[in-house]
Amino acid sequence: MGEDAEGTSSIIDGVHHHQFDIVIVGAGGAGMRAAIEAGPHARTAVISKLYPTRSHTGAAQGGMAAALANVEEDNWEWHTYDTVKGGDYLVDQDAAEILAKEAIDAVIDLENMGLPFNRTPEGKIDQRRFGGHTREHGKAPVRRACYAADRTGHMILQTLFQNCVRLGINFFNEFYVLDMVMTEVTDSFGVTTEQPSGVVAYELATGDLHVFQAKAIIFATGGFGKIFKTTSNAHTLTGDGVGIIWRKGLPLEDMEFFQFHPTGLAGLGILLSEAARGEGAILRNATGERFMERYTPTLKDLAPRDIVARSMATEIREGRGAGPDKDYLYLDITHLEPAVIDEKLPDITEFARTYLGVEPYTEPVPVLPTAHYAMGGIPTTNNAEVLRSNTEVVPGLYAAGECACVSVHGSNRLGTNSLLDINVFGKRAGKNAVEYVKTAEFVPLPDDPAAGVRKILDMVRSGDGTERIAVIRKELQDSMDRNAQIFRTDDSLKEVTELIERLRARYKNIALQDKGKRFNTDLLEAVELGFLLDLAEVLVYSARARKESRGGHMREDYPERDDKNFLVHTMAYLTGDPESADAGEHIRLDWKPVVITNYPPMERKY
């Protein structure tokens, strides 16, 4: 398990009990960056459902933004502006300033840890263009993305893991966190609130349950793209951490905003990085036209992702798609030198050859937008503290990375800001958790902290129904692709809502093929399906309430951005039994003001 003498361990009634100062749930980029910050100063454990280097951060390809100005003139204020404008002004601008300012140190931190960035001839970290990043507040594209070929996320993940090993961080790999334990605490003023006291995890290898008591808990569990069929997300991205927070009655923020990356491999969703367009790749329709010149004359193919994805969907809708069914477009890199392709885009080209049988040197690659990134998630302060309401924090609870909503991405994340986000706010989560545990005491655990998880697992194991997990999951994903993807209407969203109601009823009637304890992935997929149903419902419910179009949320029945009524964050709360037929009976929506500092909302032209 990797536990050393710094953490205490015991077995009580067959349940393993551990005690650490800080427990981090998730071993991707955000989780391991938090661990590097926390590990030297507090007893720290990292719990991961995967071996750390298999985390989805490793799939990020293109780069990490920072205004280093190594190749062209640049500064952090321009980066802040691009982040705010790219997010269609739903970005909290104080958070964007932190992201852009601390980006430079974040890159240098990784370089000092040993990350092999590409270099300029002078030996500096090289930088390339990426969508939505400009100089002089939108005048022209700028080279801001620091990169390691098209394997930047992979290199970051490996570098962070190596440094965690160097620091002796405690890892619990293939442990699946299924619950956060909350305990009622009464303060000196007689006010009683629920505070986190630990987490409960299922050990995949044995089927044993483990309770981790902690003074501070950091969630860094990634996204939930598997609510969609066509997605760049791995099969493990089922929103477990976000779902756990939701079931505890804590809010989720801006869940309606999901990013659809323009260049997924057609029919598969596997990502081809924006780095290709940063190096000069061109999007073309069936006639060979560079159609983005019609939509965004200044940035063309390097406009923000929401704009490019909608433009592509429009081209297909209007009959200019390619292929027998006219249902995809082309990414063309045939005009680039093979040597440049091999040096800077090796993975992208290999994906095209392996999965589509296309030779990118000589043939354009079929592409289609794919569900890629959740802008919404667990609401936090700029210090990564999880919010209980618009202003009240949950003591000792933190979140960072894609599962969190700072909100630094607003309604549309700029490319390369995600790898930056996990490093800036992962570091902040670790640092602030350390400060918290210096004076905090352990919150007492209830008598049987694993009771809730045991009940869920026993119920799923003992089910003798006729429904199959994969069938229910496929129906959900197909409907989300059809009705809640790039273009949405109230009617389409209502269709998904009604389907989820029916799927919940069928979910109670599932049966497992594998009844065993060891490596029971059938059991875990059943639990994951419950989280997927929850999060899809919150997304759709929030999307129906936002009667405007902004960033990654395009309502065809409300096609204009409405700053008068909707320049606010959505805050969704679970207030009743999710098994009730109508989502309106168990979901309550509230709103939170957007923080505006230097950039009042303007028309979004590129």
As annotated, the active-site residues are 305
Q: If you ran DSSP here, which 8-state letter would residue 226 be given?
A: G
55 is in an annotated binding site: yes
Angstrom distance (rounded) from CA 69 to CA 470: 49
372 is in an annotated binding site: yes
7 CB-near residues (< 8 Å, 6+ apart): 18, 19, 20, 43, 45, 170
E strands in 233-345? 252-253, 258-265, 282-284, 329-332
Residue spans of alpha helices (H) in 438-467: 451-462
Angstrom distance (rounded) from CA 304 to CA 434: 36
273 is in an annotated binding site: yes
445 is in an annotated binding site: no
56 is in an annotated binding site: yes
Q: Which of 90, 87, 85 is nearest to 562 (CA)?
A: 90
| Helix, strand, coil shares, percent, the chain, to 5 | 35, 25, 40
230 is in an annotated binding site: no
30 is in an annotated binding site: yes
463 is in an annotated binding site: no
The CA-to-CA distance between both ends of the chain, in Å, stands at 51
400 CB-near residues (< 8 Å, 6+ apart): 30, 31, 33, 34, 218, 219, 220, 380, 384, 421, 422, 425, 426, 428, 429
Angstrom distance (rounded) from CA 178 to CA 193: 22
Angstrom distance (rounded) from CA 356 to CA 351: 8
Secondary structure (3-state) at 181: strand
Distance of CA 543 to the CA centre of its chain: 18
37 is in an annotated binding site: no
Identify any residues that bridge with 1 across adjacent strands, giving them in sequence order.
Answer: none
If one counts every other C-beta atom within 10 angstroms of the C-beta of residue 580, the result is 13
Secondary structure (3-state) at 56: helix
80 is in an annotated binding site: no
Residue spans of alpha helices (H) in 139-263: 152-167, 240-247
419 is in an annotated binding site: yes
29 is in an annotated binding site: yes
26 is in an annotated binding site: yes
396 is in an annotated binding site: no
Angstrom distance (rounded) from CA 461 to CA 466: 13
Identify any residues that bridge with 182 across adjacent strands, giving them in sequence order.
Answer: 196
166 is in an annotated binding site: no
Q: Which of 212, 213, 231, 215 is nearest to 223 (CA)?
A: 231
141 is in an annotated binding site: no
State the burial class of residue 121 (Cβ atoms within 10 Å of its Cβ: 0-12, 13-18, 19+).
Answer: exposed
27 is in an annotated binding site: yes
Angstrom distance (rounded) from CA 474 to CA 279: 36
414 is in an annotated binding site: no
Angstrom distance (rounded) from CA 502 to CA 506: 6
Q: If you ran DSSP here, which 8-state letter would residue 29 be given?
A: H
436 is in an annotated binding site: no
Q: What is the dihedral of CA 117, 119, 122, 127, to 10 degrees?
A: -90
484 is in an annotated binding site: no
418 is in an annotated binding site: yes
E strands in 496-586? 554-555, 568-574
Angstrom distance (rounded) from CA 104 to CA 114: 16
- The answer to whether the CB of 137 falls within 8 A of the CB of 98 is no
58 is in an annotated binding site: yes
Element (H, E) at 170: strand 170-173
Angstrom distance (rounded) from CA 263 to CA 48: 29
402 is in an annotated binding site: yes
48 is in an annotated binding site: yes
53 is in an annotated binding site: yes
59 is in an annotated binding site: yes
- Binding-site residues, in ranges, read 26-31, 48-63, 240, 261, 273, 372, 402, 413, 418-419
- Binding-site residues for FAD, in ranges, read 26-31, 48-63, 240, 402, 418-419
- Binding-site residues for substrate, in ranges, read 261, 273, 372, 413
